[in-house]
Amino acid sequence: MAKPTQNVDCEAVFVYSEDQLGYRFSETHPFNQKRLTLTVDLLEKVNALSKKQIVTPRIATDEELALAHDTRYIDAVKRASLPDCKSEEFEAYGIGTEDTPLFVGMHEASARLVGSTLTAVDYVMEGKAKHALNIGGGLHHGFRGKASGFCVYNDSSVAIRYMQEKYNARVLYIDTDAHHGDGVQWCFYDDPTVCTISIHETGRYLFPGTGSITERGSGEGYGTSFNFPIDAFTEDESFIDIYRTAFREIVEHFKPDVILTQNGADAHYFDPLTHLYGSIEIYKEIPKLAHELAHEFCDGKWIGVGGGGYDIWRVVPRAWSLLWLEMSNQQIPKGPLPSDWIERWQEESPVPLVSTWEDPSPLYEAIPRKVEITEKNRQMLEKALYIIRNEKKLTT
C-alpha cells in the first residue's frame, strides 16, 4: 500500500517542454502535437500557468520501457528511428504503417513522452505535488510488442507498472478518450491490483473495435476491467451521467491509492475522427470529479495525461486548459478567449477559431434519436456495473 502523502510542496505541476513536440509523424497526420503549443499558449495568455509550475520531463530508460514492452520491440523502434530505413521491415511491429508511420528519432521522442508521465508520477508519489499533468502523454493504444493507433510506447502502462514496483501502489486508471483504451486494459487484464475503466464510443464502427462490457478481466483480475461503450451521437447529459455514476461506484468498490486519468479530447462534436456529440461542458465535468475523488479516496494523488483530440484548434486547447485549471484549483473562466491568442493562431487555423470558453450555440441540430440513445446507454451502464452492485448487495 502506498504511504500517505504529507507536507506536499505544491498543489499541481505541469510537465512540459518543447522537446515533446518531437513526437511528430508528418505535416498531414491527424496526431499533431502542435495542440500542446496551443494549450500552453492559451494558459499563459490567461495567466494560469507560471514557470514555477512547469517541470521539465526526462526520457524513460530502456529498463523503464521494458516494464510494459518487449525488449525486441524496443530494439525495433530504435532501428526504425534511423534515417533511410524501410517501412516494410517494421510492419510486424505496427510501425511504418499508415496509422503509425516512421519518423527519424521515433524512439527518443516516444521515450520522452513516457519519461514525462514518469516525471509526473514521481512528483505525486514522492509528495512534491498533489497532482501532476502531462498533456503530451496518454498513448493508450500501444501494446507490449506492437504500436497501434498513433501510439508507439504506452506511457500509461509503463507508469502503472512503475507505480506498482517503486511505490507498491494500487492504481485506478480511467480513460475518457472516444476510443477504447485497449493497450492499457490488456496490459493489466489479469492483475487484481490495477483497475481500468474506459468510457468510449462503441467499437461497432470506431477503432479499435474492442471495449465491450463483457471484457471484465481474467483470472485473479476478473472484475477489475470496466468498459462503457456509448452509442454514436451520445450527447453531454448521457455521457456525464455514465461518467459520474461509473467512476464513483468503481472507486468506492476498488479503493485505489492513486488515480491516473487519460484525458483524450475527441468526444467533442467538432472532432473529425469520432461520432460523439459532446460539448466543451464535458471537459469541465471530467476533471472536476477526478479531482473530487482523488481527494476523497487517494489523499489527493491524481496524475493526468492527454490522449486523442484531433480538432487541435477549436477543442483541444480549451479542453486541456480546463483540465489544468481544475487540477491547479483555479477559477474556471467564462466569456471571451484572450484576443491576442485568437489573433496569433487564427491565421494558421484552417477553420474559424471559437472565440469563447463556451461552444457556439446551437452547436449542432437536435438529435432525433436522443431518447433512444440515452436509454440504450442507461441499460449498458446497468449491465456494466451489475458485477459490483450485486457484490455490494450480497455483503450488506
Active site members: 141
Say how far apart CA 37 and CA 40 lie, in whole Å: 5
- Contact criterion met (CB below 8 Å) for 157 and 182: no
Say how far apart CA 81 and CA 61 lie, in whole Å: 16
H helical segments located in 23-152: 34-45, 62-65, 71-80, 106-125
Q: If you search the block for the grid coordinates 520501457, which residue do you land on?
A: 65
Cis amide leading into 362 (omega within 30): yes
Q: If you search the block for the grid coordinates 494500487, which residue do you land on?
A: 170
- Contact criterion met (CB below 8 Å) for 341 and 41: yes
Q: Which amino acid is at 69?
A: H
Spatial CA neighbour of 307 closest among 169, 145, 179: 179
Burial class (CB in 10 A: 0-12, 13-18, 19+), 245: middle
Q: Using alpha carbons only, how large is the chain's radius of gyration in Å?
A: 20
- Contact criterion met (CB below 8 Å) for 279 and 240: no
- Distance from the first to the final alpha carbon of the chain: 26
